[in-house]
Amino acid sequence: MHIKNSLALLFLCTFVLTGTANGAKLHLKAGPSLKWYKGQTHTHTLWSDGDAAPDYIVNWYKEMGYNFISITDHNTMLRGVRWVPVGFEHKTSEIRLKELQEKFGTDWVETRDVNGQKEMRLKTMVELKERFDQKGVFELVWGEEITSRNPQVHVNGINVRKKVQPAFGNYKDQGIRGNIDKVNEQSKELDIPMFAHLDHPNWNQTVNAEDILSAGNVQFFELYNGHAGVRNWGDEDNLIVSTDRLWDIMLSTRLAEGKSLVYGVGTDDAHNYFELRVGKDNPFRGWCMVLAPKLTSDELVNAYLEGNFYATTGVLLSEVKGTKKKLSISIDAQAGVTYTTQFIGTMKGTDMSSEPRKDADGNENRAATRIYDEGVGEVLFETTENPAVYRLTGNELYVRAKIVSDLIQDNPHRKGDTETAWIQPYIVD
């Protein structure tokens, strides 16, 4: 699989606020004291439901030019001792064990025999950090996918240091709120920056916009998730709106009420590392570029918390400029590729009322996101020019940009997907 330009430095800065005014000019890019870091905050290993050993996965991301990843196995923190069986009928075969031994050495890959069954010990987070962390080049960030089963709610805690027990409730908003609160409480208790992002709202039973708004504390959600079962682009037959639509409903509702933004992240949610194709939950599909002064877990998380990141599946940007009059984005364009930039937003005073979504038989579907005015998250301007420029009217609640190329993504989430980038909302009063 060919991954394009994985080591490129991107010179973009996203500017976001928590509902307050920004009267200053915006001209942000990497410089002497700031650098862009490519990172992943949703990966799985043999510690839960991934099909590869953690050392294999960490090494591969590092080789592919990622600067940081967070291993987020379900309800576990990669601590203690865990052995997994080796054999043809198991996730770890003799062939994969041999590959690990050839790559890392037999002293590193520990095995044992229990009643005729060969087993391999999984490496802990501490061991992985000791081997793979490299100052200024690569950083492993602590993480956990906090997984509530009933109702089904998944939240990734990033930079958490103690295992978070999943929250439960009668409704999805209670599970979301409880899991995020636990991450925030641990951050305050330990005085360590952490953040939580709501995972794959369009997976399985789905989480609708009203669930998220009712939770009240969602600051980050997965706008793009590379898992094969996640319906990022929506599913009309099942009354599921796209994650872009979810984002605009959340942004418009919260900003109209004077509340804070919701940031959109891009992730892999990788589980399958040995068969790379559409339909598998593979790595290297979606990630975030994070602007930070240093490559440390705390500095990276602080950058997320400040909104200094954006989600992408491959589109590169060189600069963003904003004033009270205009917002412009310069694309680091590849020859022969067309880039369409959509400036998306909601105008002040837009009707934020909604009505229930109904199926073909006219029955209300309470699990589906409600129907909102077309002015919620409308395309305000679209252009193929580079730089792409939007002239602000002063009446926007927010403006965000989505840059869609006509270049087919390597090993995409869905067949035919093209490389895309999503910029965090920009607000100027």
**Cis (ω within 30 of 0) for the bond into 387?**
yes
28/396: higher pLDDT = 396
Q: What is the pLDDT of residues 104-137, one digit of tens each?
A: 999 999 999 999 999 999 999 999 999 999 999 9
Neighbour tally for 292: CB within 10 Å? 24
Is residue 7 one of the residues assigned to a domain? Answer: no
Query: Sheet containing 111-114: which strands, arranged edge to edge?
Result: 83-85, 117-121, 111-114
* Range(s) of the domain holding residue 58: 26-78+132-426
Q: Tell me the whole-structure pTM to 2 decimals.
A: 0.92
Q: Check whether residue 240 and residue 108 sit in a common domain.
A: no
- For residues 341 and 211, membership in a common domain is answered with yes
Please report the sign of the dihedral spanned by the C-alpha atoms of residue 112, residue 117, residue 118, residue 119.
negative
Quote the pLDDT of residue 126: 98
The tally of domains found in the chain comes to: 2
In a domain, 18, yes or no: no
The type of residue at 211 is D
Residue 370: predicted pLDDT: 96
| Res 25: pLDDT | 62
15 assigned to some structural domain: no
Q: Could you read off the pLDDT of 326-364 as tens digits, one per residue?
A: 999 989 999 999 999 999 999 999 999 999 998 888 888
Same structural domain, 258 and 404: yes
Quickly list DSSP for 231-250. -TT-BGGGTB--HHHHHHHH
Residue where a domain terminates, one of 97, 121, 145? 121
Q: What is the dihedral of CA 363, 367, 373, 374, to 10 degrees?
A: -100
Q: What is the pLDDT of residues 49-76, one digit of tens each?
A: 999 999 999 999 999 999 999 999 999 9
Task: Judge residue 156's burial from the number of C-beta atoms within 10 Å of its C-beta, 0-12 exposed, 13-18 middle, 19 or more buried.
Answer: buried
Is residue 189 over pLDDT 60?
Answer: yes
Encode pLDDT of 240-287 as tens digits.
999 999 999 999 999 999 999 999 999 999 999 999 999 999 999 999
